[in-house]
Structure formats: structure tokens, C-alpha cells
Structure 1
């Protein structure tokens, strides 16, 4: 195994869309892949918003085990791009305000689906993952190895977002979507981007300084 430090974690914050593979009910036993948007939760796990009527939702209710593939190949060269395959079980979660607010920051167009009242949030409880970052950079990890640190609390993240609210609203072509101990998620001129910190930030002051540096570098 030769995986760059935190590479799978950052990848889960880089892209907006993943491939969900569930167990088909009919024909029984076949993998059923579909593509859909997701947002990373505070523990970097994919959170999806899916219709109760969708085939993959019926599949998950019958068997919550699933695979989830995330790929970052901006130049189209998939074999040399980064990708991570997550294995685990999806669980339906309550639409708490912090869950809704976070998801809508990453996918504001999802507001129209929430208004229908037919969509529910699900989060993947990761058991194992395989990361491939190019030739010689690949390997398996247990889900717990993705991030051993306690996640950034909702209040802590909200305070940072509020402090940098001008950037969150898109001033200078940059929008702050989310913050964790390893980096900041941005939207730059409409495109998703990840700013990785040099190291994990364990306290509020270090986080504030890191986000301030991020904003200063990206603001026009």
C-alpha cells in the first residue's frame, strides 16, 4: 500500500458527483449503478438526497450494502486520475437543519427537490475503501482510517462561515462551501475546488488562520 497522506479524504471533497452501486431487487443480485450528486458530511462520508420512488432507494431499503465510486479526472484520463471506491452501508438520516444547510451549500439547486417532500437524505457508513491515485499509489483502508480526528462541530464550522460570509456569498469569484480540519471546500467561478491545508488544524485559531490564507489566495 502506498497512499499519499489524506489523499482519499481530499478526493471526497473535490468532486460533486459519484456513482452509487446498489443490489438490484429485480433481476435479483445484479449490481445496479447510477450517477448522482453528493456532499461530504463532517466525517467526509458521502451524503445523498434521493427520491423515495427511485429504484436505488428501493434497493437500499431491501439491502443497505452499497459501493460508491468517486473519480477526479479533469483531463478525461480516467486511468491516471484519482479514484476511490467506498464500501459500506447507507443509512437514512433525519433532515436536521445542519444536514439540510450543508447539503444546500454544496447543491443549492436541490432546494426544489426538498420542496417536493419526496426526497430523503442517506449517508454512507464506510467499512472499507480502495484508493487509486496513479501508478504505484493505491491500497485499501478501513473506514476508521479515513480520519482518526474528531470532526469539526456544526457550531464551529458555522462560526467560520459567518466570519467569511462575504466570500461565502461569492465575493471575488470564490464561495466558501465548507471547512474541516484538513481543508476548505470552495466554488471558484462556479466550479468545485478543494484547498488542502498543510497539516490538520486542531484548534479554532489555527483553522481561522488557514481559512483566511485560503481566501486571500483565491480572491480576485
Structure 2
């Protein structure tokens, strides 16, 4: 195994879409792949918003085991790019105000689906994952090894984001989508990116300082 530190975690924050493979009911047993948007939750797990009528939703109700593939190949060379295959089970997630607010930061257009009342959130409970980051950089990880640190709570993350929004007038056009102990997810002039911290931030003070550094680097 030769995986760069936290590379699978960062990849899950860089991509906006993934491929969900469920177990088909008809024809029974076949893999059923489907492409759809996702957002990483505070534990970095893919969270999806799906219609109750969708085929993959019916499949998950019958068998929650699934695979989820995320790829980052900006130059179109998939074999040289990063990809991670996640294995685990999907579980329904309550549409709490915190869950909705966070998901809509990543996918604001999804609000039109939420008003229909037919869409529900699901999050993946990871069992194992395989990361490939190019020649010689690949291996398996247990789901629990993706991030051994306690995740940020919604309140702590929101406080950091709101502080930035109120105190960074020089960074116009920049939006912070999410913050975790390893980096920040950004959208600058409509383009999404990932800012990687130099190391894991284990407390509020170091997180605040890292986010301030991130904002300053992106200020006009």
C-alpha cells in the first residue's frame, strides 16, 4: 500500500459527482450504475439526494450495499488521474435544517428538488475503499481509517463560515462551502476547488488561523 496522506479524503471533497452502483432488483443481482451529484458530509461520507421513484433508490431499499466511484481527471486522462472506489451501505438521513443547509452550499440548484417533497438524503457508511492516484500510488483502506479524528459539528463549521463571510470583504466572489480538519472546500467565481491545510487542525484556534490563511491567499 502506498497512499499519500489523506489523499482519498481530499479527493472526496474535490469532486461534485460520483457513480453509484447498487444491486438491481430487475434483472436481479446485476450491478446498476448511475451518475449523480453528491456532497461530503462532516465525516467525508458521500451524501446523495435522490428521488423516491428512482431505480437506485428502490435498489437501496432492497439491499443497502453499494459501491461509489469518485474520479478526478481534469485533463481527461482517467488512468493517470485520481480515483477512489468506496464500498459500504447507504442509510437514509433526516432532512434536518443543518443537513439541508450544508448540502445546498455544495449544490444550490438542488433546492428545486427539495421543494417537490419527493427527494430524500442518503449517506454512505464506509466499509472499505480503494484509492488509485497514479502509478505506484494505490491501496486499500478500512472505512474507519479514512479519518481517525473527531469531525466538526455543524455549529462549529457554520461559525467558521459565517465569520469568514462577515469579515473578509477583500475576497469577493469567494464562497466557503465546507470546512474540516484537513482543508476547506471553496467556490471562486463559480469554480469549485479544495484548499488543503498544511496539517490536521485539532482545535478551533488552529482551524480559524488556517481558514484565515486560506482566505488571504484568495483575496483580491
- Whether the 8 Å CA contact 1:181–1:201 is kept in 2: the answer is yes
Partners of 2:201 and 2:5 lie apart in 1 by: 15
C-alpha offsets along residues 124-148 of structure 1, whole Å, 9 cap, x if unaligned? Answer: 0000000000000000000000000
- Whether the 8 Å CA contact 2:45–2:123 is kept in 1: the answer is yes
2:52 alignment partner in structure 1? 52
* Local SS of the residue matching 1:135: coil
- Whether the 8 Å CA contact 1:168–1:177 is kept in 2: the answer is no
- Whether the 8 Å CA contact 2:175–2:188 is kept in 1: the answer is yes
Shift of 1:168: 9.0
Structure 1 residues without counterparts, runs of 5 or longer: none
C-alpha offsets along residues 15-53 of structure 1, whole Å, 9 cap, x if unaligned? Answer: 100000000000111100000000000000000000000
* Local SS of the residue matching 2:209: helix
Superposed, 1:183-202 pairs within 5 Å as: 183-202=183-202
Tell whether 2:20 aligns with 1:8. Answer: no
* Local SS of the residue matching 1:116: coil
C-alpha offsets along residues 89-116 of structure 1, whole Å, 9 cap, x if unaligned? Answer: 0000111111101000000000000000
* Local SS of the residue matching 2:149: coil
- Whether the 8 Å CA contact 2:171–2:218 is kept in 1: the answer is no
Tell whether 2:29 aligns with 1:19. Answer: no
Shift of 1:174: 1.4
Structure 1 runs of 4+ with >4 Å offset: 166-171
Shift of 1:172: 2.3
2:81 alignment partner in structure 1? 81
Q: How many residues align?
A: 220
